[in-house]
Amino acid sequence: MDTIEKKARLKACQINSALGFFIMLFGFVVFFSMSLSETEKQMMTNIVAGGVLILIGAGMMVSAKRTIKKHDLKGLKDGAP
């Protein structure tokens, strides 16, 4: 894998990590909105939806970190080689 491919993979990992963080944060908002629910159905829906979003976001972040570690992209910079 040459430097250009590594930089592209690093950029994709950074984007996935940021997107995963946003989805996880949104999942926490949905999860904690269950306290504003009026019925038990609404509460269970918010718990399940929030939990799913949290798991998806955390999975994206962990996957990005593992890819960076697997392909040794940690010391790579966006500047010239």
- For 3-28, how does the pLDDT look when each residue is reduced to its tens digit (9 = 90+)? 888 888 889 999 999 999 999 999 99
Q: How many domains does the chain have?
A: 1
DSSP string for residues in 21-49: HHHHHHHHHHHHGGGG-SSHHHHHHHHHH
In a domain, 11, yes or no: no
Predicted local confidence at residue 64, as pLDDT = 93
Domain extent, residue 45, equals 33-70
In a domain, 22, yes or no: no
In a domain, 63, yes or no: yes
Model pTM score = 0.83
In a domain, 20, yes or no: no
In a domain, 55, yes or no: yes
Q: How far apart are CA 26 and CA 33, in angstroms?
A: 11
pLDDT, mean of residues 43-60: 96
Lookup result for tokens 């999860």:
31
In a domain, 9, yes or no: no
In a domain, 44, yes or no: yes
Q: How far apart are CA 38 and CA 40, in angstroms?
A: 7
> What does the mean pLDDT of the chain come to?
89
